[in-house]
Amino acid sequence: MARYQDYPLSIYNSYNREKEIFTPLHEGHVGMYVCGPTVYSNVHLGNVRTFLTFDVLYRYLIHLGYKVRYVRNITDVGHLVDDVDEGEDKIAKKARLDNLEPMEVVQMYTNDFHNTLALFNFLSPSIEPTATGHIIEQIQMIEQILNNGFAYEVNGSVYFDVPKYQEAKGNYGQLSGRVLEDLISNTRELDGQDEKRSPLDFAIWKNADERHIMKWPSSWGIGFPGWHLECSAMSTKYLGKEFDIHGGGMDLKFPHHECEIAQSVAADGVAPVHYWMHSNMLTVNGQKMSKSLGNSFSPSELMTGNHHLLKKGYSPMTVRFFMLQSHYSSTLDFSNDALDAAEKGFRRLNNARKSLAKLSYLSGPMDEALNKEIQSSLNSAYLNLSDDLNTAKAIANLFDLATRINSMAGGKLKPGALSEGTFNRLKQEYEQIINDILGLRLEESDESGMMDGLMHLLIDIRQQARKNKDFATSDQIRDTLSALGVQLKDGPEGTSYSIE
RNA sequence: GGUCGGAUGGCCGAGUGGCUAGGCACGGGUCUGCAAAACCCUUUACACCGGUUCGAAUCCGGUUCCGACCUCCA
């Protein structure tokens, strides 16, 4: 029996605004699409948070026993800097400024994106399609939409006819909670919109002038596809007309995801996504982290602490842990105090985890209550993860277990107080939850080999000194190591060490 | 302006009607040659005003403040 039957997953579906039991289209299989980055600049920590949410979801789905196809695109068509016809495309602009080929820009920032995700221990998606690699699919989709009468061509551009779509299907605005009349009355007056029949219409193919670098031939002339279209085309290609989960940042809900739904319905007649998931924003002093506000950190600034808003640097795993301590649907505020607290908490969790790995079972007098408590904490961790991916609550369960593990490591509790089955389950699942599901790997640089030998030598010398009551020597060893970032811990079983 | 969401203790952050969230910090204790780590105990809450209810942080109404989206944005 697969784990997903023991711990059925529920997901808050943004489309209905309700938490629902997750039932995939095809038993045992999950198709999941997440909107990836536009590769015209370095990713920042806010971007990382969104991808983290879906990395953990992906890991958890796999752990539950699903076979998952995870598609996350790379947007490498530039799209416009603003919504004006004359607007330059973002990648072309960057290329011009840096005197590069557009594809050099794309490659550079795609590499940066991959490096960053690797740093934070993200799993690779099953398929990572690029928009430029799927121009044909996008053109085909535009043709379908045109054939079905939900788009019109003007001067080599094709626009999606929102009012007409609304009349026929009536669901535009459902996802984002917009009302068409409100949208119309609030539309800003922008230049170059005279081609559109309604200000709500959006381009699915855009005519390109000579200045445009990234452009392709089509039956409507030379141009490039609209931004919203690539996700519809690529999700359809790899996951089908209907698929299970679509994720992305909250800020993509409107217009991007709303338009995706409209395009798919207009082309194929069915709503594409069964469960919409939106990850909330990372904030700094209460404001969304974004490049334009100048309050974003790059991963390297974060690690070195080399940023005016940071007091010191933090490791990627510390940040990952920090983010997982909140729920993905809440905004999370980024501050030095919060990071400091997370760093210490994470160290505590890791210490417990390492202690547990070293413990072995010795039968002894059973403690039924404790045995039950451990089982129930492990069950809770899974139930919380299955409850709309509540990593915050699952981590609280892990800390409860950390207290018991530490008691065992300190000799206050004996492993024999647990049944052998419980002990083995704890040992296996504790590490699984932290490492496989939450993706929190140990970061110690070098705790083996020569380093370990040297440490044991020092510990032995210090032990000898302590025996001789030569505390000057023993303290010198401990304090010098401490200054180097190595912590000695005297316990009943002898001295151990950990590296900060 | 429109739409949506938020306001929890010193800090971060879960929690949707009654049952200790958790982490960090603070205080006390145990252990230790001293420390650190660990363990035990302990303190500080639900923006404001009304209402519903036997009972509300949680539901309803109002007020204030904050944010997101409405234009590219994870």
Q: How far is it, in rounded angstroms, from Cα A136 to Cα A218?
A: 9
Strand runs labelled E in A176-317? 202-207, 223-225, 243-249, 273-279, 282-284, 287-288
Q: Which of the four pLDDT bands, split at 50, 70 and 90, describes residue A189?
A: low
Answer yes or no: is A481 within a domain. Answer: yes
The stretch A242-271 carries a mean pLDDT of: 95
Q: Which nucleotides of strand B lie within 7 A of protein CB?
A: 1-5, 10-15, 21-25, 32-40, 66-74
d(CA A12, C1' B61) / Å: 27
* Distance in angstroms (rounded) separating the CA atoms of residues A331 and A363: 47
CA-based nearest residue to A55, from A117, A8, A130: A117
CB A352 within 8 A of CB A402: yes
| Nearest residue for B22, CA–C1' | A396
Claim to verify: residue A248 and residue A290 sit in the same structural domain = no
Please give the mean pLDDT across all residues of chain A. Answer: 90
Pair A168, A181 in one domain = yes
Any idea which nucleotide's C1' is nearest the CA of A182?
Answer: B2
Say what the ipTM of the complex is.
0.94
**A457 and A419: one domain?**
no
pLDDT tens for each residue of A291-339: 878 888 888 899 888 888 888 889 999 999 999 999 999 999 989 999 9
pLDDT (0 to 100) of residue A450? 63
Residues A376, A368: contact at Cβ < 8 Å?
no
The verdict on A168 and A314 lying in the same domain is: no
Q: Quick: pLDDT tens for A195-234.
A: 888 888 999 999 988 778 889 999 999 999 999 999 999 9
Residue that is last in its domain, among A279, A297, A331:
A279
Mean pLDDT in residue range A30-56: 95
Nucleotide closest to A44 measured between CA and C1'? B74
Domain range holding A262? 3-279
Helix (H, G, I), strand (E, B) or coil at A496: strand
Domain boundary among A279, A313, A346: A279
Q: How far is the CA of A290 from the C1' of B49 (A)?
A: 37
Number of domains in chain A: 3
* Residue A174, domain CATH: 3.40.50.620
Q: Are residues A303 and A421 in the same domain?
A: yes
Q: Is the confidence at residue A479, as pLDDT, over 60?
A: yes
Q: Which of A279, A294, A312 is the last residue of a domain?
A: A279
Looking at residue A449, its pLDDT comes to 59
Q: How far is the CA of A306 from the C1' of B37 (A)?
A: 30
The confidence score (pLDDT) of residue A81 equals: 60
Note whether A376 and A266 are same-domain residues.
no
CATH of the domain at A358: 1.10.730.10
| CA A3/CA A424 separation, integer angstroms | 18
- Closest nucleotide to A227: CA versus each C1': B72
A320 and A402, same domain (yes or no): yes
Residue A443 lies in a domain: no
